Amino acid sequence: MTMKRLWISFALVATACSGGGPGDRSAPAAATLTGRPGPATPTLDKVRGRGFVRCGVSTGIAGFSTPDAQGHWRGIDVDVCRAIAAAVLGDAEKVRYTPLTAAQRFTALQSGEVDVLSRNTTVTFQRDIQLGIEFPAVNWYDGTGFIVRKASNVRSVKDLNGATICIQPGTTTETDVADYFRRARLTFTPVVIERLEEVTNAYFAGRCDAFGQDRSALAAVRARAPNPADHVVLSEVISKAPLGPGVMPDDPRWIEIVRWSVYALINAEELGLSSKTIDRALDSDDPDVRRFVGKADGFGTMLDLDDQWAFRIVKQVGNYAESIERNITPLGIERGVNRLWKDGGVLYVPALR
Amino acid sequence: MSQSCAPRVRIGPRVSWRGARAKAIGWQLAVLAVAMALVATVAVQTAINLRARGIASGFDFLSRPAGFEIARGLFSFSSRESYARALLVGLLNTVRVSFLGIAIASVLGLSIGIARLSGIWIVSTVSRAYVELVRNTPLLLQLLFWYTLSQGLPAPSDALNPLPGVYLCFRGLFLPAPIWHDGFPWIGVEAPTLAGFGFQGGISISPEFAALLVGLSTYTAAFIGETVRGGILAVGRGQIEAAAALGLSRPHALRFVVLPQALRVIIPPSTSQYLNLFKNSSLSVAIGYPDLMSITNTTLNQTGQAIEAIALAMAVYLTVSLAVSAAMNLYNRATLRRGGGA
């Protein structure tokens, strides 16, 4: 795994020498020369030339990005990639997925291996500013929680004083747990194992009293237990973890395309547009719906796309609720705060106007 | 005078030899210049690239607080301490497991090598089976095997208690620790006791450390065993027969005649095995022992400074490897000198 990371680091060098990669800034001059209005669109041009979107996903996190029995990638993070492909290339299937470990993901994005990283990544100050990664939108609000054995009589995180806790490296969990225990003046012993499968097995084997992870991932861990009823996910959430797709900061138009692709999924739910009803919406009189399906105002062209971009997202991928019902609900994960603001959740995205 | 004529006769060839040498030096300089230019280009391009992509570079992160915890071993660490100290703890953990691993692998390897040449069929067969089994399976698999095995031990509440104060369970091995008092008899013993989530007090050895130590030393011992066998076989048959003729018993012949000569053959390849063990300890990331590689990994993930973190780890592994090599070379030279005098 380290070798791959090293290799990617060298790729960073190689792309520079060949003058390619997302850092290529020769395009703006060309745009000025041809007198084309609006900003340059290097990533968009490359994606169109290539014919597919390169999307960085996880090595397998149920509900977010994981291959199904037929080898098709499924999950709400995968749906973000598919939405982008539907908007940009007209076909949600035109995505090439690159499975990345938590540790590889940022280097892969920075070196131009992927166009967008859609891999339950927590948005943090340090990743935004120091790593220089742009997070255009949030597609799932999560937080660090713990799974424990029912028999251990742990009812709350406070009961974990002196406990051994399994953690995966390369995640924000490592620092979240350390910070929480320090704040609460409690102690713990970490057992840090790189692969999700092995760290999960170590927890099941009894090596750790608790397993700390994003709460959404914990439901999948519990489902994998020999007897799920023996385990319980503690109700407390010890940190904020807004998860969202990441892109490089040097291509504003690409950032906007990713942002509005996610917004389109959520706005579609809010407007009551689903993959089943979207065809009928073409004849709607509602100005919001008419703008959404590209019948008015020409928003698609302003985004360097065609006017059908949002229509295709809903037609081919569905709206946000459909994505959740397909991927998250079957795992027994509550939608919780990830409901629309109208339904008491925190999903409140700008409208297409 | 005829002697002074002789060199003059060779002037022709010598000039051309000089020419060839100058040419060779020229080529070497050219290759060196190209290689250096290449390295410089890559370094400059990387720096430009990192800057263009807004990726912070440099080693400033080393002094920042790490923010993560490391399992308590011999060396304590708290999340408020710096990345530099975290990496130091990782290095010390690596050195600790490597040092013990090398010691165990040497003793075990020597025994295996001698056992393979034993006249007793069962001893030679068992040791041969051991070598073939261990040498022909991947080390990573063996580490996971030992770790999984450790997880098959009983729970802390049903811990094995072979000796008073000694407990063995899937959380590790717990031993009594000596503690110092102010008054007579100054030294006491603190036995581990079952409290809370496991055993408290005393000395504890984590299953990660134990699995890594057992895995590394048994794996390397198989290779050292073969080296020892080769070394013993390299000693002339006449030497052994002469020892027997002098009336030395087999163990004495082995100790005073065979091994001192065999060591000359054994030490150089064993050095490679020691270095292999040291470098293989980085596989511990799979079973969660906080060694240098594991801490480097976490540091890299938290700071995002992949190039710096990996370069630092490489420099540290290189330095320690070269130091081990140098020490072994000194030992080898001393052995050769002793052998020459005898």
Q: What pLDDT score was predicted for residue B196?
A: 75
pLDDT digits (tens, 9 = 90+) for B53-88: 666 677 888 888 888 888 876 778 888 889 999 999
Task: Centre a 10 Å sphere on the Cβ of residue B242 and count the other Cβ atoms it contains.
Answer: 13
Cβ–Cβ below 8 Å for A207 and B170: yes
CATH C-level class of A2-16+38-140+244-334 = alpha beta
CATH 1.10.3720.10 fits B83-176+208-341, yes or no: yes
For residue B221, the distance in angstroms to the closest alpha carbon of chain A comes to 26
For residue A125, the distance in angstroms to the closest alpha carbon of chain B comes to 12
For residue A284, the distance in angstroms to the closest alpha carbon of chain B comes to 45
| Domain definitions of chain A by residue range | 2-16+38-140+244-334, 144-239
DSSP summary character for residue A348: -
Which chain B residue shows the shortest CA-CA distance from A3? Answer: B310
Q: What pLDDT score was predicted for residue B56?
A: 67
Instruction: Report, as ranges of residue numbers, the positions in chain B whose pLDDT lies below 70.
Output: 1-17, 53-56, 73, 339-342
Contacts of B68 in chain A (CB under 8 A): 174-175, 178, 190
pLDDT digits (tens, 9 = 90+) for B40-61: 999 888 888 777 766 667 788 8
Contacts of B170 in chain A (CB under 8 A): 205-207
Beta strands A163-167 and A210-214, pairing class: parallel
Cβ–Cβ below 8 Å for A250 and B53: yes
Q: Coil, strand, or helix at residue A112?
A: coil
Contacts of A194 in chain B (CB under 8 A): 285-286, 297
Instruction: Please tell me if residue A9 touches chain B, with a CB cutoff of 8 Å.
Output: yes
Q: What pLDDT score was predicted for residue A2?
A: 45
Q: What pLDDT score was predicted for residue A51?
A: 96
Q: What pLDDT score was predicted for residue B175?
A: 85
Beta strands A95-99 and A53-57, pairing class: parallel
Task: Centre a 10 Å sphere on the Cβ of residue A337 and count the other Cβ atoms it contains.
Answer: 14
Portion 57-116 of A in contact with B at CB < 8 A: 102-103, 106-107, 110
CATH architecture of structural domain A144-239: 3-Layer(aba) Sandwich (3.40)
Instruction: Please tell me if residue B54 touches chain A, with a CB cutoff of 8 Å.
Output: yes
- Stated pTM of the model: 0.76
Q: What pLDDT score was predicted for residue A39?
A: 60
| Count, residues in chain B | 342
Cβ–Cβ below 8 Å for B151 and A163: no
Q: Kindly report the CA angle at B261 between B257 and B264, in degrees rounded to 5?
A: 160
Cβ–Cβ below 8 Å for A174 and B298: yes
Contacting residues for B314 by C-beta, under 8 A, at least 6 apart = none
Of B41, B68, B71, the CB nearest to A178: B68
Fold matches, A2-16+38-140+244-334 and A144-239: yes
Residue-by-residue pLDDT tens, chain A, 353 positions: 444 444 555 544 444 444 444 444 444 444 434 444 556 789 999 999 999 999 999 988 889 999 998 999 999 999 999 999 999 999 999 999 999 987 788 889 988 999 999 998 999 888 898 888 999 999 999 999 999 999 888 889 989 998 999 998 877 888 899 999 999 999 898 998 888 888 898 899 888 999 999 888 888 888 888 888 899 999 888 998 999 999 999 899 999 999 999 999 999 999 999 999 999 999 999 999 999 999 888 889 999 999 999 999 999 999 999 999 999 988 878 888 999 999 999 999 999 88
Contacts of A23 in chain B (CB under 8 A): 49, 52-53
Cβ–Cβ below 8 Å for B298 and A170: yes
Cβ–Cβ below 8 Å for B287 and A110: no
Please state the ipTM of this predicted complex: 0.73
Where b means 16+ CB within 10 Å and e means fewer, A172-208 reads bbbbbbbbbbeeeeeebbbbbbbebebbbbbbbbbbb
Of B71, B287, B297, the CB nearest to A190: B71
